Amino acid sequence: MAEAVETLGQLDAQVSVCRACPRLVDWREQTAQIKRRSFADQPYWGRPVPGWGAEHPRVMVIGLAPAAHGGNRTGRVFTGDRSGDVLFAAMYRAGLANSPICVDAADGLTLIGTRVAAAVRCAPPANAPTPTERATCAPWLTAEWRLTGDDVRVIVALGGFGWRSTLDMVRSAGGQIPRPQPKFGHGATATLQAAHGEVILLGCYHPSQQNTFTGKLTAAMLDDVFGRAARLAGLSR
């Protein structure tokens, strides 16, 4: 299905009805039924979550998967959870978003020359997709790259999972990856040869609560990565 889509509208429509991974389908729908007490009065999306942002971005941000009570609830990746609060505040400071506030899909947040997507489109149990689930979902990310990536100059990969998924995405779309394969680290940099030209890949620790609450990832560290991304893409203020 993913290989045949020709527009972002088609991509979003088709990914939203995907049921290819039984474990993920069960989890996303169970979570949407049971809900978290603090969101008991709110509807849950409970389906795969598409990427969002600029249709012709210069920066692309690739994360792991929607959060069970974040994107799986709001229908917009990194929206409605603490990871998103941290991420979009950093993007705002770098000039890649019009606001640091990220609450729901109707909050008025606009990304500036930037698009955000998840490597796996469904919320996974314990935030841990299996290798098979990652491979099954990969064509959706590759399709999104094929439709939106021609102007991308910088990719920010959140975490090792996002880093590996980015390398696979570029390779699957006909690009070339350096040898030996670049290793993930916060602030790591690699130059990829995509079909449309060079793309700089930047590594960033995932803005999870585990990383931010322990101080493994700080606001200054995020500002360094996203400030570099904005400058390299010609989007800095």
Write the pLDDT tens digit of every residue in 50-71. 999 999 999 999 999 999 999 9
Question: Could you read off the pLDDT of 90-126 as tens digits, one per residue?
Answer: 999 999 999 999 999 999 999 999 999 999 999 999 9
Report the pLDDT value the prediction gives residue 132, as an integer from 0 to 100: 98
Residue 3 — very low, low, confident or very high, per pLDDT cuts 50/70/90?
Answer: confident
Q: For the chain, how many structural domains are there in total?
A: 1
* Residue 230 in tokens: 């904005």
Q: Name residues whose C-beta falls within 8 Å of residue 145's C-beta, 6 or more positions apart in sequence.
A: 60, 169, 170, 173
6 phi, psi to nearest 5 deg = -120, -15
Classify 125 as helix, strand or coil: helix
Tell me what pLDDT residue 1 has: 76
Decide if 154 contacts 194 (C-beta within 8 A). Answer: no
Q: Which residues does 78 contact at the CB level (< 8 Å), separation at least 6? A: 63, 66, 67, 70, 71, 84, 87, 88, 102, 116
- Identify the domain containing residue 54 by its residue range: 2-233
CATH of the domain at 130: 3.40.470.10
Question: Per-residue pLDDT averaged across 182-202, rounded?
Answer: 97
